[in-house]
């Protein structure tokens, strides 16, 4: 193996790396990393080696990811493929041991940086495996990854492996790329907590079910009591709605702007004949419009679930979800009875849980709305987070209880 180049990194990167942050972003220092080098050794201002980095010159923002902070780094690089296998095995073992995952056919087998596999995410979707590369470096190690998975899970057939190149790498494609051919499509269903969901692989990046929200769904199930009226805003394909029906909700209203996702939701319902479909209503409308209409119809709910996109545009200006929550609280409040709950999600690393809590409290005070912040919700057992790495801790939720 060629000698690995040693490169000084930006003073801010030095500080962040010491705090456990695993990325080197684009700056005047990282732009000087030798382009052809697969690995780079990051050094501090005194030329001391700090970390072995996986180099990704093609990525727009993340130019390198920490592979190891264990010296000697040349040996760490020589053992790279063996370490990939060892780290994968460890990640799989954790999931096999996790009792919580036994009620789900969908879970992460590896969750990137927090499993010491930077930029590599592996999902199990029933008997399929979806591998997501957020750095193109992994593409070269595809067969090692597949072999390691099949050693632990021999039941997974070659044709059931799916690959996606994700993230902001210029050379990565806009459309999902699949293992065998680009026009390959797959449609199947899987079970999560006794509910069936339709999954589509190949055609788009959105499979139809957010696996990273699965443990949150499980937690939310406890908030639904038989007969309850539930409003699911930004419902997507209806995972929360079906789960609420499964818990015995008396009425569930799902709202999404997209006819495609509402149709998908109807397909999901059709897969679950045991659920009482007459208790469900789907509304294809903007949340704003739906909330206004429901208020006009004097509808009242015991639970509102609100999971907006992290930012949205009305054509002229962009609004972040955290800003949108002020208006949403005003509009949701008249639909909630005393003692009712609303669950508010925020899907961005840019706002911490503390900031989210604080902002909501400020809105509530300003609007003179009397709510108690109770449970906090976050990524669960198969989606670990890493200290010093806020980008990996993007999902936060708060349960508000109307006083």
Ligand X SMILES: C[S@@+](CC[C@H](N)C(=O)[O-])C[C@H]1O[C@@H](n2cnc3c(N)ncnc32)[C@H](O)[C@@H]1O
The answer to whether 325 contacts ligand X (rule: CB under 6 A) is: no
Question: Do the beta carbons of residue 202 and residue 186 sit within 8 Å?
Answer: yes
CA distance 86 to 148: 9
Question: Segment contacting ligand X (CB under 6 A): 28-36, 146-154, 192-200, 234-242?
Answer: 234-242
Tell me which long-range contacts 256-264 makes (C-beta under 8 A, separation of at least 24): 256/282, 256/283, 256/284, 257/284, 257/285, 257/286, 257/287, 258/284, 259/284, 261/235, 261/236, 261/237, 262/235, 264/198, 264/208, 264/237, 264/238
CA distance 236 to 239: 8
The answer to whether 234 contacts ligand X (rule: CB under 6 A) is: yes
The answer to whether 192 contacts ligand X (rule: CB under 6 A) is: no
The answer to whether 258 contacts ligand X (rule: CB under 6 A) is: yes
Residue 361 burial (C-beta neighbours within 10 Å; 0-12, 13-18, 19+)? middle
Q: Which is nearer to ligand X, 134 or 240 (CB)?
A: 240
- The CA dihedral of 111, 112, 116, 122, to the nearest 10 degrees, is 60
Q: How many residues does the chain have?
A: 403
Q: Which is nearer to ligand X, 16 or 199 (CB)?
A: 199
CA distance 250 to 227: 4
Question: Segment contacting ligand X (CB under 6 A): 124-132, 140-148, 185-193, 249-257?
Answer: 249-257
Question: Segment contacting ligand X (CB under 6 A): 88-96, 152-160, 192-200, 237-245?
Answer: 237-245
Q: Which two tokens stand for residue 313?
A: 């545009």
Binding ligand X (rule: CB under 6 A), the pick from 256, 302, 333, 382 is: 256
The answer to whether 16 contacts ligand X (rule: CB under 6 A) is: no
The answer to whether 266 contacts ligand X (rule: CB under 6 A) is: no
Number of residues that bind ligand X (CB under 6 A): 18
Question: Do the beta carbons of residue 256 and residue 234 sit within 8 Å?
Answer: yes
CA distances, 191 to each of 55, 131, 179 (Å): 38, 20, 24
Scanning residues 287 to 306, which ones bind ligand X (CB under 6 A)?
Answer: 287
Please state the closest distance from residue 35 (CB atom) to ligand X, in A. Answer: 36
| Binding string, residues 139-158; x marks residues near ligand X by CB under 6 A | --------------------
Binding ligand X (rule: CB under 6 A), the pick from 261, 301, 363, 389 is: 261
The sign of the dihedral angle between the CA atoms of 196, 310, 371, 257 is negative
Binding ligand X (rule: CB under 6 A), the pick from 85, 177, 286, 378 is: 286
CA distances, 319 to each of 37, 58, 313, 315 (Å): 40, 30, 6, 11
| Binding string, residues 337-376; x marks residues near ligand X by CB under 6 A | ----------x-----------------------------
Q: Which is nearer to ligand X, 51 or 233 (CB)?
A: 233
Q: Which is nearer to ligand X, 136 or 215 (CB)?
A: 215
CA distance 40 to 350: 28
Binding ligand X (rule: CB under 6 A), the pick from 257, 294, 322, 344 is: 257
In three-state secondary structure terms, 394 is coil
Scanning residues 197 to 216, which ones bind ligand X (CB under 6 A)?
Answer: 210, 213
| Binding string, residues 19-58; x marks residues near ligand X by CB under 6 A | ----------------------------------------
Please state the closest distance from residue 51 (CB atom) to ligand X, in A. Answer: 34
Please state the closest distance from residue 257 (CB atom) to ligand X, in A. Answer: 4
DSSP string, 73-123: HHHHHHTHHHHHHHHHHHHHHHHHH-GGGGGBSEEEEEEGGGGT-TTEEEE
The answer to whether 239 contacts ligand X (rule: CB under 6 A) is: yes
Residues found near ligand X in the complex (CB under 6 A): 210, 213, 234, 236-237, 239-240, 255-258, 261, 286-287, 307, 309, 312, 347
């Amino acid at each position: 193996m060629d000698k690995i180049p040693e490169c000084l990194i930006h003073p801010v990167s030095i500080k962040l790396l010491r705090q456990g942050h695993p990325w080197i972003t684009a700056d005047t220092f990282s732009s000087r990393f030798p382009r052809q080098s697969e690995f780079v050794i990051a050094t501090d201002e005194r030329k001391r080696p700090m970390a072995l980095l996986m180099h990704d010159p093609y990525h727009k923002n993340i130019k390198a990811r920490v592979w190891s902070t264990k010296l000697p780094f040349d040996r760490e690089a020589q053992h790279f493929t063996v370490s990939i296998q060892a780290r994968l095995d460890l990640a799989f073992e954790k999931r096999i041991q996790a009792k919580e995952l036994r009620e789900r056919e969908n879970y992460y087998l590896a969750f990137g940086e927090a499993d010491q596999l930077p930029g590599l995410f592996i999902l199990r979707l029933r008997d399929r495996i979806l591998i997501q590369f957020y750095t193109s470096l992994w593409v070269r190690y595809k067969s090692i990854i597949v072999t390691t998975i099949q050693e632990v899970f021999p039941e997974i057939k070659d044709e059931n492996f799916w690959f996606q190149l994700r993230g902001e790498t210029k050379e990565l494609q806009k459309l999902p790329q699949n293992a065998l051919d680009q026009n390959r499509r797959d449609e199947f269903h899987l079970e999560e907590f006794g509910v069936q969901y339709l999954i589509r692989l190949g055609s788009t990046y959105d499979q139809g079910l957010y696996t990273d929200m699965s443990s949150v769904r499980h937690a939310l199930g406890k908030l639904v009591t038989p007969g309850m009226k539930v409003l699911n805003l930004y419902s997507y394909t209806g995972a929360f709605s079906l789960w609420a029906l499964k818990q015995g909700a008396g009425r569930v209203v799902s709202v999404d702007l997209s006819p495609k996702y509402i149709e998908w939701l109807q397909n999901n319902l059709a897969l679950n004949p045991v659920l009482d479909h007459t208790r469900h209503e789907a509304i294809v409308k903007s949340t704003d419009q739906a909330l206004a209409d429901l208020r006009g119809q004097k509808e009242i709910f015991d639970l509102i679930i609100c999971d907006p996109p992290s930012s949205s545009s009305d054509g002229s200006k962009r609004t972040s979800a955290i800003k949108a929550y002020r208006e949403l609280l005003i509009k949701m409040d008249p639909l909630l009875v005393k003692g009712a709950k609303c669950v508010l999600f925020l899907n961005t690393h840019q706002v911490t849980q503390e900031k989210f809590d604080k902002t909501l409290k400020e809105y509530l005070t300003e609007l003179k709305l009397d709510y108690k912040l109770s449970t906090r919700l976050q990524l669960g057992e198969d989606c670990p987070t890493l200290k010093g790495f806020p980008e990996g801790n993007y999902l936060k939720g708060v349960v508000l209880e109307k006083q």
